[in-house]
Structure 1
Amino acid sequence: MHRRNSRRTALVLSAAAIAAVPALTACGSEAHPGAAAVVGGQRITVSQLESRVNEVRDAQQDATADSAQYEQAIAKTGGLTRNTLHTMVLDRVLHRAATDAGVTVSRKEMQGMRAGLEQQAGGAKQLEVAWLQQYNIPPKRLTESLRTEIEAQKLATALGADTQTQQGEAAFWKALATASKELNIDLNPRYGAWAVSPRARLVEAKTPWLKQVTRQAPADAQQTA
């Protein structure tokens, strides 16, 4: 079971303080009709991206009391399409890096993390609302998001990277940069660029594990139950 004091999750961190992280490498600029991005030879189609965005919009509408609140939610997430794509790509990069490092995530670990977060949030519904508001993750994608959270933490542990130090953070992002190159990412310019900049802020990717892994040491990572 995870230690209570190890759950320094994104839920309890400042929503405004996304950590500075190195942007990964865009490895191509080829035209791919109908594709928002190509990652590891697999297309993320424009229709798939739009479907993910619609999931968020539908969840936002369900979570708001009236049209005025819904319009406010939309206004706060004006770059949702681009942000969603960058998050989808970055999550795949992380998964590849974790796989390369031999990291696996069990259902028991996901259940344990979810139970702990629900307790902190005050219930399952409250957790779903928090993840939606902070990270634009709809309830149906919450388990998937938690899996990625655990992957990031366990990857840092596997690398022996204390991500509270510059050296550890550099080791973590070196692994992701390697995975990015392996996947030969080609982002449709319509949605931005997978830019090379060692001191850039990857603000497009609004995903909880980014804040988590850059704010805690591997000693605080999730442990296999």
Structure 2
Amino acid sequence: MRFVKSAGAVVLAAGTLAGCGGSPVQAGSAAIVGDQRITIASLDRDVRDWQRQFRDNEVANALKEQSGGSAGDAVRQALGTLVRLRVADQTARRAGVAVTEGRTDAVIAGFDRQPGGATAITLANGLPARYARDVARFFAIRDLLAARSLPPRVTSAQQVLQARQQAELEINRVAAGMRIEINPRYGTFDRAQGMIGPVTTRLSGTEKGLG
């Protein structure tokens, strides 16, 4: 999956989430990330709310098209984003990075200075508008991680871009060591593409009965 931040062609590659994509998960779960459970019921509700909000938001539609996304993969993108948010939180904890409410507020303010504001950016990332602060927190974590590798005096945008890429790699490394399980009805992690891929095998009776 990709994270969309703005209309200015700033699309963040989420990288490879190299967790245990094919493991059986607890009944009623869409995914398990570490010790956190994403339920099928909550995922279904998120996708329904997103579809209703996204349909009428022209800016979100344009942002999603720019990122190469499709409204047809709504469930996989929503689940992939929810997983990614949790991995970023774990990365921050391991790195000792504290994300204050003020820092998240600053990211939201930056979103709101762009066309469509925080709502459009959140919708373009596959989640309903109520997740705006969660999406902003992801970018706050990414930028705080990136700041640690920047020189005292930043002289070019390329330096910032490279630091952000390093932060993404750090998030990926944490994902690789985490327990990440996806309900097979939603697919498995595509390690090459860094997203939840489509279901490619026939589900057993047990797998069909999850949830």
Q: TM (normalized to structure 1)? A: 0.65
Write out aligned runs for 1:16-31 (5 A): 19=13, 22-27=15-20, 29-31=23-25
Rounded to whole Å, the distance in 2 between the matches of 1:137 and 1:31 is 23
SS at match of 2:136: helix
CA RMSD of aligned residues (A): 3.2
Tell me the alpha carbon deviations over residues 48-84 of structure 1, each in whole angstroms, 9 at most, x when there is no partner: 11111122123235648xxxxxxxxxxx411101111
Inter-CA distance 188–163: structure 2 relative to 1 (3 Å threshold): farther
1:77 aligns with 2:67: no
Partner of residue 175, structure 1: 170
SS at match of 1:114: helix
Offset, 1:163: 6.6
Gaps of 5+ in 2: 59-69, 152-158, 198-211
Partner of residue 67, structure 2: none
Gaps of 5+ in 1: 1-8, 65-75, 206-225
Offset, 1:98: 1.3
Partner of residue 137, structure 1: 127
Inter-CA distance 46–142: structure 2 relative to 1 (3 Å threshold): same
Partner of residue 103, structure 1: 97
1:57 aligns with 2:57: no
Inter-CA distance 33–174: structure 2 relative to 1 (3 Å threshold): same
1:202 aligns with 2:194: yes
Partner of residue 113, structure 1: 107
Offset, 1:86: 1.0
Rounded to whole Å, the distance in 2 between the matches of 1:111 and 1:202 is 28
Inter-CA distance 38–159: structure 2 relative to 1 (3 Å threshold): farther
Rounded to whole Å, the distance in 1 between the matches of 2:136 and 2:96 is 18
Tell me the alpha carbon deviations over residues 76-125 of structure 1, each in whole angstroms, 9 at most, x when there is no partner: 4111011111111111111111111111112222222222332333xxxx
Tell me the alpha carbon deviations over residues 151-205 of structure 1, each in whole angstroms, 9 at most, x when there is no partner: 111122235595744x973x43443234224431111122222243xxx333559
Partner of residue 153, structure 1: 143
Identify which of 64, 76, 93 aligns with 2:87. 93
SS at match of 1:120: coil
Give 1 or 2: higher strand fraction: 2
Contact map agreement 1:18 1:203 (CA 8 A) in 2: no
Inter-CA distance 143–41: structure 2 relative to 1 (3 Å threshold): closer
Moved over 4 A (4+): 61-64, 159-163
1:34 aligns with 2:1: no
- Higher RCO (CA < 8 A, seq sep 6+): 1
SS at match of 1:186: strand
Count of aligned pairs: 176
Q: TM (normalized to structure 2)? A: 0.68
Offset, 1:128: 4.3
